[in-house]
């Protein structure tokens, strides 16, 4: 079984709808991330969480919200979807060994392709 899973894998929705993308991991990592990928722009960080009680905005958080329900689960919501949120969304996890001993390697899910009409 995959270590990082995302549901759904594909979603088509309409402008104004609320959408939730879910991410689960079995790696036991504390840190989780949400990115979006757009052609020519690489991956941009939306939100990240270092533990269940910690949520941080990334570089493009407007229009998105997140929930860290448990160590293993991190959900991304689009409260009112708009067409320019059409993109490929990735969840990722990383380990943490302690201050000054960052483990930057991240492990990615397979992605969710979201289309907003």
Residues that bind other proteins (CB under 8 A): 4, 31, 33, 40-45, 48, 50, 58, 90, 92, 94, 96, 99-100, 102-111
Choose between 17 and 44: whose C-beta lies nearer to other proteins: 44
Taking the complex as a whole, the smallest distance from the CB of residue 68 to other proteins amounts, in Å, to: 15
Give the number of other Cβ atoms within 10 Å of residue 90's Cβ.
22
Instruction: Give dist(CA 95, CA 115) in Å, integer.
Output: 31
Choose between 51 and 79: whose C-beta lies nearer to other proteins: 51
Taking the complex as a whole, the smallest distance from the CB of residue 16 to other proteins amounts, in Å, to: 29
Taking the complex as a whole, the smallest distance from the CB of residue 13 to other proteins amounts, in Å, to: 21
Q: How many Cα atoms occupy the beta-carbon half-sphere of 64 within 13 Å? A: 23
Choose between 66 and 92: whose C-beta lies nearer to other proteins: 92
Backbone dihedral angles phi then psi of residue 83, each to the nearest 5 degrees? -55, -30
Instruction: Give dist(CA 103, CA 93) in Å, integer.
Output: 11
């Amino acid at each position: 079984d995959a270590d990082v899973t995302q549901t759904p894998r594909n979603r088509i929705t309409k402008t104004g709808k609320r959408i939730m993308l879910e991410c689960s991991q079995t790696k036991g990592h504390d840190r989780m991330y949400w990115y979006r990928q757009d052609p020519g722009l690489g991956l941009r960080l939306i939100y990240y969480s270092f533990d269940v009680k910690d949520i941080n905005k990334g570089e493009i958080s407007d229009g998105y919200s997140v929930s860290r329900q448990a160590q293993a689960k991190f959900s991304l919501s689009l409260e009112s979807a708009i067409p320019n949120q059409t993109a490929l969304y990735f969840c990722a996890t990383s380990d943490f060994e302690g201050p000054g001993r960052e483990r930057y390697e991240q492990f990615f899910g397979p992605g969710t392709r979201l289309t907003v009409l």
